[in-house]
Amino acid sequence: EAQVTQNPRYLITVTGKKLTVTCSQNMNHEYMSWYRQDPGLGLRQIYYSMNVEVTDKGDVPEGYKVSRKEKRNFPLILESPSPNQTSLYFCASSLAFRGDGNQPQHFGDGTRLSIL
Amino acid sequence: TQLLKQSPQFLSIQEGENLTVYCNSSSVFSSLQWYRQEPGEGPVLLVTVVTGGEVKKLKRLTFQFGDARKDSSLHITAAQTGDTGLYLCAGATGTYKYIFGTGTRLKVLA
């Protein structure tokens, strides 16, 4: 089954304790992306990756890191989490970024992070 | 920063009524996608509109992309309880980013 898998689904942790949220897709997609979703703000793009070893900042990259060493995996790293990073996080992938075409983003089911 | 404003933010209607959701920006997008999100799940694509002035229909849902590719609308005819959910628009920029709207939470009452 084609899917985007995020882990963990839920995490409660404390300020400053490094954490990684994993994201894996089995569709051989080139474009992958991380978003955070906060009430009243919609989804905001944190980082995106056009392909292996190619990553770039989205609109809200502060406090986050990513890597893309393999095509299928795109982990999100919070080196020193803070309470303002408490949010619902989504990973998404698409075959490619085709702004002029039909390239739907496939989303994972989300990771709810609470940072105390 | 490019922004996409959706209106209304919340909408509660009776089954059988019609509704329109708007997605507006001052920026031009190369395409615009509409997603629906259910609680506990990620957004799922409904449609992509690409050409200015384009109209696409998906059963009772009609999507329109503005002539200038800065705005879009979603019209639902004869809403059903199964249409309940969070509707999100997302614009594709010229710099490989997606900008999402603030969302419209629709509740259709039986």
Whole-angstrom Cα distance, residue A33 to residue A25?
Answer: 11
d(CA A113, CA A104): 26
Please give the pLDDT value at position B9.
93
Are residues B29 and A101, on separate chains, in Cβ contact within 8 Å?
no
Q: Tell me which chain A residues have a C-beta less than 8 angstroms from the C-beta of B94.
A: 99
> Which of B 12-71 lie inside 8 A of A, CB atoms?
29-31, 33, 40-45, 48, 50
Give the nearest chain A residue to B97 (CA atoms). Answer: A58
Residue ranges in chain A whose pLDDT is less than 70? 98-102
> What are the structure tokens assigned to B89, written together?
């628009």
CB contact under 8 A, B100 and A45: yes
pLDDT reported for residue A102: 62
Tell me the C-alpha distance between B16 and A50, whole Å: 43
The answer to whether the CB atoms of B100 and A35 lie below 8 A apart is: yes
pLDDT of residue A101: 61
Q: Which residue of B has its CA nearest to A41?
A: B102
CB-facing half-sphere around the CA of A46: CA atoms within 13 A? 25
pLDDT of B97 reads 87
Q: How far is it, in rounded angstroms, from Cα A91 to Cα B5?
A: 22
Report yes or no: A25 and A4 within 8 Å, Cβ to Cβ. Answer: yes
Instruction: Return the HEC string of A34-97.
Output: EEEEECCCEEEEEEEEEECCEEEECCCCCCCEECCCCCCECCEEECCCCHHHCEEEEEEEECCC
Provide the residue-wise pLDDT of chain B in tens; the chain has 110 residues: 667 899 999 999 999 999 999 999 988 998 899 999 998 899 999 999 999 999 999 999 999 999 999 999 999 999 999 999 999 999 988 778 889 998 999 999 99
Residues of A whose CB is below 8 A from B98: 33, 45, 48, 105
Q: Which residues of B touch A33 (CB under 8 A)?
A: 98
Supply the DSSP symbol for B66.
-
Read off φ and ψ for residue B83, nearest 5 degrees. Answer: -85, -10
Whether residue B88 and residue A42 make contact (CB cut-off 8 A), yes or no, is yes
At A99 the pLDDT is 60
